[in-house]
Amino acid sequence: MIKSILKTPLHNEQISKKRVKCIVCDHSINENDKSAFATFSCNIRAFKNETFNVWRCPKCQTIHCLDIVDLPRYYAEYPVSQTTLTWPYYFIYGNLTQQLTKHGFSKTHSFLDYGCGSGIYLEYLRQRGFTNCHGYDLYGSEDGFGDRTILQRGPFDYILLQDVIEHIEDPYELLCELNSLLAPGGHILIGTPNAARIDLTRPNVSDFYNVVHVPYHLHIYTPESLKYLGCQQGWQSVELFDRYHYDTQWFSINNRAFNQYVNLFDGTINVVYESINLWKALTSYKFLFYSLFGYWLSFRTGMGIMFRKS
């Protein structure tokens, strides 16, 4: 992910120190107007005492991180890269696979997970007989998922872009590349936060500050602005999934329970990638409550949109 941010040029020559122009509709704001900004703390432990400003475009409602920072410094402390295929992911990836198979994905189709991280979704698919699956990650090693020759195996029938586009400075260049990798009639599923469901007036609530995720999330889109970006590639939006695939009905595997678990400790997402403190979790009445009912009380701060290429 760091490499993508470093290599991607800014759309419309955006100002290098502050993001004051909307990447979607080109609306500009006055960076001296303090009322336009909300202040959020970083939810990574190494930087938890640092705060950053975000703003919502008054025209298209896209959310932008105002502050442009030295992202390699922040990604050096990112805890997600060591994720492995533990038991909760079988429920989570079951949901994700259903979203794909609903639109025809089968074991005979070619599939690319663009931004695959450690490749655990590919591992899940291969365990279930999906053998024509490939992964690429701009932050991967050159002898692993960072090998760009993987992309030469396209065009692909299905592409997954999960939790990637919000990290990218210029979505136009990214989606243009994906369009070149997608077969005619192919499908691309984009999963990302939903700006329309994020309350910027509540920066101390983990359900919101975890999804705003400063300074890593550069642009957060609404369903309408994401559909607009897809339409710029000539794609047809065929279905909106109005919550994250990891917001499930299974006990404790939902966004509200996740955020409550974070609250039990230091409020950073690092705790999710450490050994589970089962005793502390199960003695928390709030955690138990959201483990049972969180799915139905979800703020639905995530979404997925399935596009089809003509």
Q: Where are the domains of the chain?
A: 1-310
Model confidence pLDDT, tens digit, residues 5-45: 333 434 334 435 899 999 999 999 999 999 999 999 999 99
Average pLDDT of the residues of the chain: 92
Range ranked top by mean pLDDT from 68-77, 92-101, 268-277: 92-101
Is residue 132 within 8 A of residue 156, CB to CB? The reply is no
What local confidence, expressed as pLDDT, does residue 238 receive? 98
Rounded CA-CA distance 290/253 in Å is: 9
Rounded CA-CA distance 72/247 in Å is: 30
- Pick among 3.50.50.60, 2.40.37.10, 3.30.413.10, 3.40.50.150: CATH of 1-310: 3.40.50.150
User: Angle CA(214)–CA(220)–CA(221) in degrees, nearest 5?
Assistant: 175
Rounded CA-CA distance 182/189 in Å is: 11
What local confidence, expressed as pLDDT, does residue 80 receive? 75
Model confidence pLDDT, tens digit, residues 104-151: 999 999 999 999 988 999 999 999 999 999 999 987 888 888 899 999
262 band by pLDDT with thresholds 50, 70 and 90: very high
Is residue 229 within 8 A of residue 175, CB to CB? The reply is yes
86 band by pLDDT with thresholds 50, 70 and 90: confident
Model confidence pLDDT, tens digit, residues 188-208: 999 999 999 999 999 999 999
Please give the residue that has the higher pLDDT: either 81 or 132. 132
Buried b (16+ CB within 10 A) or exposed e, 242-262: ebbbbbbeeebbbbbbbbbbb
Whether the pLDDT of residue 82 is over 90: the answer is no
Cα distances from 45 to residues 31, 50, 266, 296, in angstroms, run 28, 10, 8, 30
β-pair partners for 190: 161, 305
Is residue 201 within 8 A of residue 225, CB to CB? The reply is no
Rounded CA-CA distance 22/26 in Å is: 5
In the chain, pLDDT over 90 holds for what percent of residues? 83
What local confidence, expressed as pLDDT, does residue 236 receive? 98
Model confidence pLDDT, tens digit, residues 153-173: 989 999 999 999 999 999 999
User: Could you tell me whether strands 133-136 and 111-114 are parallel, antiparallel, or unpaired per DSSP bridges?
Assistant: parallel
Q: Report pTM.
A: 0.92
What local confidence, expressed as pLDDT, does residue 3 receive? 36
274 band by pLDDT with thresholds 50, 70 and 90: confident
Rounded CA-CA distance 144/118 in Å is: 9
- Collapse the DSSP code of 21 into the 3-class scheme (helix H, G, I; strand E, B; otherwise coil) and give the result: strand
Long-range contacts of range 116-119, CB-CB < 8 Å, 24 or more positions apart? 116/140, 116/145, 117/80, 117/81, 117/83, 117/145, 118/81, 118/82, 118/83, 118/84, 119/145
Rounded CA-CA distance 232/214 in Å is: 27
Helix (H) or strand (E) holding 304: strand 302-309
